[in-house]
Amino acid sequence: MPGSTGNGAVMRSTLRQQIAEALRDEVLAGRLQPGQEFTVKEIAEQYGVSATPVREALVDLSAQGLLDADQHRGFRVHEYSAEDFRGMIEARGLVVEGMFLALSQGRPDAVRPDDPRAASVVAGVRRRGEEAQRAAAAGDLTVLIGYDLRFWRELGACFGNPYLADFLNRLRVQTWVCAVQHLRRLPDLRGALWAGHTELVDALIAGDHAAARAILAAYNAHSLALIERLASR
């Protein structure tokens, strides 16, 4: 029946996404190490599912730059260098600058300070930022990554360009995957992680784009210096 075929495709697509997200979280948590190899069969057995959605999920993660595909040996977690991180920071800055440009041009779907939606949207973004800051202060990297990604995904949506927001989210995931490979070496991350989320929100709400740009520039410089220092050890 046509309906059952469609439902099967939807279920497989959902399973594919769930597996991709679970494996991404494994990489971000450091449970899948850089260079670690695995096969479609191993992952399928681990999650108790068929090989097809697993293979599709692994291909998706390879396209995002999180995994490397080897025709004969399966897949392995991509190993990033400090130079890779520098390139990501540069790309991330260019995307955010594009968002500022879209905001300054008055895109009709951007959330501006005088927008009726602003209060509820900002409240949600601020909550994510506050949680991210608490996790950063505690040195809890796993919790920080989760809230930080949600913070930027919701903040990015405020700029009114979904394509830039989606690209920024993918870049931030890659940046975290790269950073985690170095940050996990530190026994104590308290005080070492950026925690300027609410400060950035305040600058944007005030319409002070110069201050927001300065906050982001300091953030990027801090992140780059930290990862380059860890990578040189």
Q: Place 211 in a pLDDT band, splitting at 50, 70 and 90.
A: very high
How confident is the model over 27-50, as a mean pLDDT? Answer: 91
Boundary of a domain, candidates 77, 96, 131? 77
Number of domains, the chain: 2
Statement: residue 201 has pLDDT above 70: yes
What CATH number is attached to the domain comprising 191? Answer: 1.20.120
Q: Are residues 182 and 115 located together in one domain of the fold?
A: yes
| pLDDT number for residue 18 | 93
| pLDDT number for residue 134 | 96
- Find the range with the poorest average confidence among 90-94, 133-137, 157-161, 163-167: 157-161
Q: Place 10 in a pLDDT band, splitting at 50, 70 and 90.
A: very low
Statement: residue 123 has pLDDT above 50: yes
Q: Are residues 69 and 96 located together in one domain of the fold?
A: no
Question: Order of strands across the sheet with 37-38?
Answer: 37-38, 74-77, 67-70
* Containing structural domain, residue 90: 82-231
pLDDT per residue over 61-117, tens digit each? Answer: 999 889 999 877 899 999 999 999 999 999 999 999 888 887 777 666 666 666 666
Q: Are residues 167 and 194 located together in one domain of the fold?
A: yes
User: Does the pTM exceed 0.75?
Assistant: yes
Boundary of a domain, candidates 77, 111, 126? 77
Statement: residue 11 has pLDDT above 60: no
Stronger pLDDT, 159 or 134, i.e. the higher one: 134
Statement: residue 220 has pLDDT above 60: yes
